[in-house]
Amino acid sequence: MPPLVPPGARPETAALDGGRVRVLRSPAESGPAVVLLHGGGCDNASISWYRAFEPLGADCRLIAPDLPGFGSTSGIAPLGGPAPMADFTARLMTVLGEERAVVAGVSMGGDVALNLALRHPDRVRALVPIAPAGLSAGLSRPWMQAALWALCRLPDPVLLPAARLAGRFTGAALRRVLHDPSVLPPEAAAEFRRESTRPGGQLGYLRYGQAIVGRRWMRNDILPEVHRIRVPTLFFHGDLDPLIPPRDSRLAAARMPDARVVLASRCGHWAQLEAHDRFLSEVRGFLAGLPR
């Protein structure tokens, strides 16, 4: 079965780093460039941004890649942590002829977007982090942090079969990221199931976990650095997010010179999908208010 293509998107491939990057583009030839970065786990660009392309793509030049190790990007080994993924995104923008863009990212993708703004500030016009990772020093209990670190250290012959087995329980996984799983379009849910059982489909996220989880703390905590991000920033977070607490977004926004937080009510982790109408309204207003 061919990969899912969201309504209003057209797929293309870009040659980069010896491989082929699958990129979803909108048909608009004018308007702001907006790079959309998907989350981790069994996510890819078609799932995270399934509901965004048609309503936003008429007025924005949307660019949504499958990061290495995810979706239909091939020939590039997973990159691990958010810093190399941010550098990869900057190189991809150059290949696609986009020198500067608004960058939105969900969860892991939000971590990458924030790192892109820190490492390549000239490439980022504004930010829309959605329930972003990378803003916490560690799990609340030291033994849980140590246990997660030990799990991430297991060898691939143990981790990969376990990940494939876990991929059979997609219903439980969707209930984990969505407060109300019924709002997820069936096409996106089917793509999530396919991604969860695709050979190697979990490798990108496993490498990300191995890169960010330390024995005593998270290695990707950039909360002490976000004050250096000076571009306009809109944090969008579900108020019932069970994976990343909204407190992380509030703490980050309070340290940044031009940032605010929108909390979507009765909404879980995939806020851009679950609170779709609120997300569109907030993003449109945010883009309209950016300096030309």
pLDDT (tens digit per residue) in 152-189: 888 888 877 776 665 565 677 788 888 898 889 999 99
Q: In Å, what is the CA distance from 126 to each residue of 47, 170, 182, 230?
A: 23, 34, 32, 9
Q: From edge to edge, which strands make up the β-sheet containing 124-130?
A: 10-16, 19-25, 61-65, 33-37, 101-106, 124-130, 233-238, 259-264
pLDDT of residue 167: 57
pLDDT of residue 164: 66
Q: What is the 3-state secondary structure (H, E, C) of 207-265?
A: HHHHHHECCCCECCCCHHHHHHCCCCEEEEEECCCCCCCHHHHHHHHHHCCCEEEEEEC
The arithmetic mean of pLDDT across residues 102-112, rounded, is 98
The arithmetic mean of pLDDT across residues 223-252, rounded, is 97
Mean pLDDT of the chain: 93
Percent of the chain whose pLDDT exceeds 90? 76
pLDDT of residue 186: 92
Asked if the structure places residue 198 within a domain, the reply is yes
Domain that holds residue 240: 10-288
Number of alpha carbons in the 13 Å side-chain half-sphere of residue 250: 6
Kindly tell me the sign of the dihedral angle through the C-alpha atoms of 287, 107, 6, 271. negative
Above 90 in pLDDT, residue 234?
Answer: yes
Q: Going by DSSP bridges, is the β-strand pair 19-25/10-16 parallel, antiparallel, or unpaired?
A: antiparallel
pLDDT of residue 157: 83
Q: Which residues contact 265 (CB under 8 A, 6 or more apart)?
A: 239, 275
Asked if the structure places residue 122 within a domain, the reply is yes
pLDDT of residue 202: 82
pLDDT of residue 139: 85
Count other C-beta atoms under 10 Å from residue 146's C-beta: 16
The arithmetic mean of pLDDT across residues 198-224, rounded, is 91
At 14-34, the pLDDT tens digits run 999 999 999 999 998 888 999
Count other C-beta atoms under 10 Å from residue 69's C-beta: 22
At 143-161, the pLDDT tens digits run 989 998 998 888 888 877 7
The arithmetic mean of pLDDT across residues 271-275, rounded, is 96
pLDDT of residue 165: 61
Among the listed residues 22, 29, 20, the one whose alpha carbon sits nearest the alpha carbon of residue 4: 22
pLDDT of residue 1: 72
The arithmetic mean of pLDDT across residues 257-262, rounded, is 98
At 97-106, the pLDDT tens digits run 999 999 999 9
At 61-86, the pLDDT tens digits run 999 999 999 999 999 999 999 999 99
Helix (H, G, I), strand (E, B) or coil at 167: coil
The arithmetic mean of pLDDT across residues 267-278, rounded, is 96
CATH code at position 131? 3.40.50.1820
Amino acid at 17: D
Q: Which residues contact 186 (CB under 8 A, 6 or more apart)?
A: none
Asked if the structure places residue 21 within a domain, the reply is yes
Count other C-beta atoms under 10 Å from residue 227's C-beta: 13
Query: Strand pairing partners for 233?
Result: 127, 259
Asked if the structure places residue 4 within a domain, the reply is no
Strands (E), 46-87: 61-65
State the Cα–Cα distance between residues 94 and 102, nearest whole angstrom.
14
Helix axes 203-212, 156-166, angle to 10 degrees: 120
Write the DSSP assignment of 113-155 as a string of letters.
HHHHHHH-GGGEEEEEEES-SS--SS-SSHHHHHHHHHHHTS-
pLDDT of residue 292: 76
At 194-208, the pLDDT tens digits run 888 887 778 899 999
Above 60 in pLDDT, residue 209?
Answer: yes
pLDDT of residue 173: 79
Above 60 in pLDDT, residue 115?
Answer: yes
Residues 11-43 as b/e (b if ≥16 CB within 10 A, e otherwise) read beebebeeeebbbbbbebeeebbbbbbbbbbbb
Asked if the structure places residue 253 within a domain, the reply is yes
The arithmetic mean of pLDDT across residues 1-16, rounded, is 93
Q: Please state the domain count of the chain.
A: 1
Name the CA radius of gyration of the chain, rounded: 17
Above 80 in pLDDT, residue 107?
Answer: yes
pLDDT of residue 166: 59
Asked if the structure places residue 1 within a domain, the reply is no
The arithmetic mean of pLDDT across residues 229-257, rounded, is 97
State the Cα–Cα distance between residues 191 and 6, nearest whole angstrom.
11
Asked if the structure places residue 128 within a domain, the reply is yes
Asked if the structure places residue 5 within a domain, the reply is no
